Chain A
């Protein structure tokens, strides 16, 4: 097994950009290789990784485009490497092809996405418009795990966790950040996973293992091509059954003041910081407002949300996209009669003040 030199002993408090945070987290998690192709706003993940890689015995390959970066990540995983890549916007679009292959073959790829505006090239700054694509992109069924981060501590914690989730459950795993998180600087505690009793799930080679297939060991038969509809159906059904059975252990969410909430604010990622701030201010003014944030946007904490939603009078979905989160919420709550309102700003950020104003207008 690959024993990587440690970049961090114990833990330390630092002040850095989110892109740096991701590079440190991947290094601390023992990632062995990054495959990458540059695109704003995540370029510096690659830059910091390439700076750190030689120091800590890691590798890097710059490919000719994102399709290739995605497929080489798939290749790295097949060879038993804890491999990852990172991209954004149009790059995420191109990576859907390799990621759907990873989904079909149940490969533990790790992809860090820092959302930018869309459609197409749009802005290089920020959005939450890659939610649907990251959860359900490609010609597949969304058998993926997607952690939506809200800041630097999340970026660090969930980048490390993504490798473990991926290798434990063998489904492609995503860290869904955004350009703000990429570029902003804020304090964060970085640590050696071992110092927090987090042990890294070992990576194993799928192919090229010693022995004669069928004699010394079972043959490896990895497929992404099927001749018969029936064959494919069986594989998808089996994989989906596995996915659904593990989903309850993977689901994560955060909530506050939900018990007596009349208005429940639902948001993910960095927008949840505005929602949480607004909730606090509104509570001080006497408004019964609660806060619910899915951390895994896929699988989605549907049951948990339903329980809270049924007790509330109104749900307010807040997002920097045109209803991408709202669609997941609506689907999860089918049959629940609580009113669902939304505050949608595709490609633009949301401030505390706006949320406060919007909630007041609901009363």
Chain B
């Protein structure tokens, strides 16, 4: 799926899905691809489900929203409900493995439904703050829309000022990215 991708990314406000979308599209743009990202936002200052729509392609991109995504990533039970409608029979549906009692609400028409332990890995092996970078790695691992190198550069661009103060953060973010990529690859996509 290296060519193009339509990605719907959803989580609770504060889980960082919008930053992930922003970094991925920026990276794709820097790599010379066509890229479009649109956040879904409501009137709330915090809370609520946050959805990011990302499209990356080699052709100019048309309408900013789409009916069916190539990959849907849902990071909370409400996000599953919210993004189910973007699932078609070629869609890969990824959700966090630590959510309980969501089996009933998972889509039954996806090409693949993958549970990845992103929250747990971020918490236990890295740091909860890099959870969204693990997710970013998973998106890149599943779609191949940008190279690992370009993704790292995009993270550097966004967080470089923090890395300067504490270089260990760089290492942790890059590790999270690679971890995320491995998580989906282990599932043999």
Q: Does A187 contact B (CB under 8 A)?
A: yes
- Which chain B residues border A350 with CB–CB below 8 Å? 63
A217 shortest CB reach to chain B, Å: 52
- The 8 Å CB contact of B41, one of A125, A186, A187, A352, is A125
Alpha-carbon separation in the docked complex, A12 to B61 (Å): 20
| Pair A349/B62 contact, Cβ less than 8 Å | no
The answer to whether residues A354 and B35 also contact, given A124-B42, A124-B43 and a CB cut-off of 8 A, is: no
Contact residues in A for B175 (Cβ distance below 8 Å): none
Q: Are A185 and B63 in contact (CB under 8 A)?
A: no
What's the interface size class on A, roughly?
20 to 34
Interface-side segment among B65-73, B139-147, B179-187: B65-73
Chain A 209-238, CB-CB to B under 8 Å as 1, else 0, gives 000000000000000000000000000000
**A271-289 at interface with B (beta carbon < 8 Å):** 271, 273-274, 276-277
Contact of A273 among B39, B62, B67, B68 (CB under 8 A): B62
Chain A residues, CB < 8 A from B65:
180, 349, 351
Give the contacts of A123-155 with B (CB-CB under 8 A). Answer: 123-125
Cβ-based interface call for A183 (8 A): yes
Report yes or no: B64 in contact with A187, Cβ–Cβ below 8 A.
Answer: no
Report whether B36 and A186 are in contact in the complex, using a CB–CB cutoff of 8 Å: yes
Count B-side interface residues using an 8 Å CB cutoff. 23
> Of the candidates A121, A184, A277, which one forms a contact with B36 in the assembled complex, judged by CB atoms under 8 Å apart?
A184
Asked if B35 and A352 make an inter-chain contact with CB atoms under 8 angstroms apart, the answer reads no
Contact B67 A187 (CB under 8 A): no
Tell me the bound Cα distance from A185 to B35 in angstroms: 8
Produce 1/0 per residue, B10-29, CB < 8 A to A.
00000000000010011001
Given A351-B65, A352-B66, A353-B66, 20 more A-B residue pairs with CB atoms under 8 Å apart are A124-B42, A125-B41, A180-B38, A183-B39, A183-B41, A185-B22, A185-B26, A185-B35, A185-B37, A186-B34, A186-B37, A187-B29, A187-B35, A274-B62, A274-B63, A276-B62, A349-B63, A349-B64, A350-B63, A353-B67
A-B contact pairs, 13 of them (CB 8 A): A41-B41, A125-B41, A125-B42, A184-B36, A184-B37, A186-B35, A186-B61, A270-B63, A349-B64, A351-B63, A351-B66, A353-B67, A354-B67
